[in-house]
Structures are given as C-alpha cells and as structure tokens.
Amino acid sequence: MQIATILGARPQFIKAAAVSRAFAQHPSINEVMIHTGQHFDKNMSDIFFSELGIRDPDYHLGIHGMNHGAMTGRMLEGIEKILMQIQPEFVLVYGDTDSTLAGALAAAKLNIPIAHVEAGLRAFNKSIPEEVNRVLTDHVAEILFTPTEHADHNLARESIPQSKIFQVGDVMYDATLHFSDLASSGSHILEDCKLEPKSFFLATIHRPQNTDTPEALKQVCDLLEAIAKDVKVLWPVHPRAKKQMLQFGIKLNHVQCIEPVGYLDMIELERNARVILTDSGGVQKEAFFHRVPCVTLRPETEWVELVEHGWNILLPLSGDVQFMKQMVLQRAGKPGNEVQLYGS
C-alpha cells in the first residue's frame, strides 16, 4: 500500500518520527514523504530529520514565508501535482497547520482517502488559524485518529460518523517514550546552558495571539522578565517571536534566550524544568508526560484534560504582570493527579 505523508512544521516531524518508524517495519507499506517547506531553518526542520532518524523527504516544495492563504494555495498546487503523479492509496496528515489543510484539500479534490492524526481537537475559537485547519481537515477525512475521549465527543457533536473515528492515544507520547533514553545519553543542554535540574522555568511562546502585536508580546516579555528576577527562565525563542521582538524593539535582560533546540535537548529541558510556561499545544502535553506543572498563556486549550487533572492552568494575558507572575510562581512543586491520559 502506498501512503503519501504530508509534513511541514516542527511538531509534524516529531509525530512522523513515531509513525514513520512503525511504517518502516511493515514491508507492505510504502510511505512517500512530502515536505511542504513551511518550517525550513536548520533548527526548525533539518535537525529533526537527522536527530530522530527520519529519512529525507521524497519531495520538498520549499514553500514558506507567505500569508496563510497564499501559502496554503501554493502548497495545494504543489501537493496536487505530486499526488496525481504517484497516485497513493491514502494521504496522511498530522495536526492543524497550513500544510495539514493543503494536504487534505489536495487529496479530497482527487478523491484520495485521507487519514488525519490528531483529529477532533477543538479550541472553540475560529480566530485561531489552526482551528480552521483542523475543523476543515476533519470534515474531509475518511479515517480520524483521535488522541482522547474529548476529541471523540467533539467529532460526534459535528455529526462525523462513529465508524470513521479511531481513538488511538497520542503519537507525541510514543515519541517521548521512544526518544527519552536517547535524550538522557545524547543531550548536554543543561551543561551548555549552565542549568541545574529543577532550578529553572522553561518558556516557549510562538502563537500569533501572543507575538503578533507589540502590546501582547511586550506583556509576555514583561512577565518572563519579572519571573526571571526571582528564578532562572530559559526561552528557546521561536523564529516568529524573534522576528517580532526585533521589529517591536523589545529587549530582554534577565531571561536566558537561546535558539530553538532539537527534540532531544527539548526533552532534557522539559523534564528538568521546575515549571513550563508555554502557548504550544505539544509542549502542554509533554509537560504532563514528564510530570512537570505547566502554565498555558492562552484563554483556552484543546487539551482540556490537562486542566481538569491539575497539570495545566490557563493564564490569558490580563495586563497585570505582577498578578500573572504570582500565578506562575505558585505552580512550582504542584503536580496534578496521577492519571494516564494519552495512552499507556
């Protein structure tokens, strides 16, 4: 069976590291990988392929750096051409990026069945670009692989037939389980950054709501600076946040900023952090995998079970930096309930 997998962004490389490894063990599956180019820098793309043993993509479209509509359109055109040429039996898409939607639309127009990994997630906020991508993808997919019961309910509410839904747990958990040992032996990030285990807070911020206006990004940076006066804060800065900080003239004096790190270093940072402060979807879950308390700088989350079980709190930007700082500091040493949420 030939499966065409669409990849484009950092979290998709990590998910593919788990799934493509399983495909490779099945001689009857021939996986063709199409990289849209959405993430392209060495430390947002190449490092994941080399470090996680993902083979080179069969096609690389090199599409990035445009507005959502233009980028999705160019990807759709490029992916369609390849699908017409190779005629796969299935197209596999991950998550909720523009690459996900472009892959799903290209396949749907050619009547090729689509499998969606990480189906059924909802923030119930259509102003988030990812929400539009995931809702549309779920409605054209033939097979919906969901991570949780909540995701199943969301799909049922949208009248997606039960027969298309398969609750399989979370592939990011597979990735964490598989690469954790390698991270222990292969990562020197704590020494490199002069960090003692459990002595620092780890931050990752990249969502448009927190980075695209000077007001929001300044508030995020003021919060991190305020925390960093009391406890070390390490921030591997996403290219979007870096670009906007430069554009808005925002400088940090106390926060330890580094370039984005590879997945093995990230595992090592996450599991040694005292608290994780993030707006990333994947990092919220990984905080739980490593049993580290998390604060999510957003008004809502798709991963509601983490909040229900006390592993995560939502902290939308409120304008009151001192209040927010206290909320974050209070999270240290406060684990949630001991539960299995994404597979065992």
Amino acid at 151: A
Residue 113 CB neighbours (<10 A)? 14
Q: Kindly state the smallest distance separating residue 160's Cβ from ligand UDP, in Å.
A: 22
Gap between the Cα atoms of 240 and 206, Å rounded: 6
Nearer to ligand UDP, 8 or 260 (CB): 260
Q: Under the criterion CB under 6 A, does residue 145 sit at the interface with ligand UDP?
A: no
Q: Which stretch binds ligand UDP (CB under 6 A): 10-18, 100-108, 188-196, 247-255?
A: 10-18
Residues contacting 317, CB < 8 A, separation 6+: 210, 216, 219, 220, 297, 324
Q: Kindly state the smallest distance separating residue 311's Cβ from ligand UDP, in Å.
A: 16
Q: Under the criterion CB under 6 A, does residue 317 sit at the interface with ligand UDP?
A: no
Q: Under the criterion CB under 6 A, does residue 195 sit at the interface with ligand UDP?
A: no
Q: Under the criterion CB under 6 A, does residue 261 sit at the interface with ligand UDP?
A: yes
Instruction: Show the site string, 224-253: x = touches ligand UDP by CB under 6 A, - = not.
Output: ------------x-----------------
Is the CA virtual torsion 321, 322, 324, 325 positive or negative?
A: positive
In this structure, what token pair is assigned to residue 91? Answer: 């197209």
List 10, 64, 134, 290, residue binding ligand UDP (CB under 6 A): 10
Q: Do the beta carbons of residue 343 and residue 169 sit within 8 Å?
A: yes
Q: Which stretch binds ligand UDP (CB under 6 A): 158-166, 188-196, 239-247, 282-290?
A: 282-290
- 206 a catalytic residue: yes
Task: Specify the residue for token string 């490779």.
Answer: 24
Q: Under the criterion CB under 6 A, does residue 11 sit at the interface with ligand UDP?
A: yes
List 3, 4, 7, 14, residue binding ligand UDP (CB under 6 A): 14
Nearer to ligand UDP, 131 or 286 (CB): 286
* Count of residues interacting with ligand UDP (CB under 6 A): 15
Parallel/antiparallel/unpaired status of strands 200-204 and 165-167: unpaired
Closest CA to 154 of 134, 172, 168: 134
Q: Under the criterion CB under 6 A, does residue 281 sit at the interface with ligand UDP?
A: yes
Rounded to the nearest 5°, which phi and psi values hold at 110?
A: -100, 10
List 263, 288, 289, 342, residue binding ligand UDP (CB under 6 A): 263
Ramachandran class of 232: left when φ > 0, alpha when ψ lies in -120 to 50, beta otherwise: beta
Q: Under the criterion CB under 6 A, does residue 147 sit at the interface with ligand UDP?
A: no
Q: At what angle do helices 129-140 and 98-109 cross, to 10 degrees?
A: 30
Amino acid at 138: D
Catalytic: which of 35, 64, 150, 206? 206
Q: Kindly state the smallest distance separating residue 250's Cβ from ligand UDP, in Å.
A: 19
List 98, 286, 302, 305, residue binding ligand UDP (CB under 6 A): 286
Q: Under the criterion CB under 6 A, does residue 204 sit at the interface with ligand UDP?
A: yes
Residues contacting 292, CB < 8 A, separation 6+: 270, 271, 273, 274, 275, 276
List 37, 103, 282, 293, residue binding ligand UDP (CB under 6 A): 282
Nearer to ligand UDP, 103 or 282 (CB): 282
Task: Specify the residue for token string 């969502």.
Answer: 207
Q: Under the criterion CB under 6 A, does residue 280 sit at the interface with ligand UDP?
A: yes
Task: Specify the residue for token string 């709190």.
Answer: 313
Q: Do the beta carbons of residue 202 and residue 234 sit within 8 Å?
A: yes
Q: At what angle do helices 171-186 and 281-289 cross, to 10 degrees?
A: 70
Q: Kindly state the smallest distance separating residue 282's Cβ from ligand UDP, in Å.
A: 3
Which residues are known catalytic residues? 206
- Interface with ligand UDP by CB under 6 A: which residues? 10-11, 14, 204, 206, 236, 260-261, 263, 266, 280-283, 286
